[in-house]
Amino acid sequence: MEKLTGPKKIKTAVFISGKGSNLNNLIKFSKTKKSPIIIDLVISNRKAFGLKYADKYKINKRIINFKNTKIAENKCLLILKKRNIQFICLAGFMRIFSNNFIKNFKKRIINIHPSYLPKYKGLNTSVRALKNKEKFSGCTVHYVTAKLDSGNIILQKKVKITKNETETSLDKKIIKEEHKLYPAAILKILN
């Protein structure tokens, strides 16, 4: 991606499916002087709680039904093109994009995942890490490919699992690190 000069920020869309804590964090980050992005659009595949952050910060939002992936992706591409979106952040978006969608944004779709990849792709990462008596878990920001949580890693952070760790306490520790890691990864690849 060519470097943009001056104060012009890269128009970004954030895709969510859930609570939106990473969305809220990315919005706050985007409003800082050092941020290379401006969040112009929030897309969700359902009526997610996180959409309230789009309302709070007066950011355009869309809910797109992903029952038919091809139709949904085409709808997304149309909206993204129309709004001139150049970068996409996935933040708890529970869908996998097709190669056809991804090729429209080569190396410009990133995701945050609550485990130290390549371990524990997919869901219930903390539960699985605890069940397997891991010493640590963590979080990873990676490029998005059509394979679940398999794209090249941009940044990672380890989180120590303590003796009396619960799923809730581990999730809290990981999300805290995610909120630092996601902006750092964006700065790393866009600056």
> Which among 41, 59, 76, 113 is annotated as catalytic?
113
Is residue 113 part of the annotated active site? The answer reads: yes
In three-state form (DSSP H/G/I as H, E/B as E, the rest C), the secondary structure along the chain is CCCCCCCCCEEEEEEECCCCHHHHHHHHHHCCCCCCEEEEEEEECCCCCCHHHHHHCCCEEEECCCCCHHHHHHHHHHHHHHCCCCEEEEECCCCCCCHHHHHHHCCCEEEEECCCCCCCCCCCHHHHHHHCCCCEEEEEEEECCCCCCCCCEEEEEEEECCCCCCHHHHHHHHHHHHHHHHHHHHHHHHC
Write out the catalytic residue numbers.
113
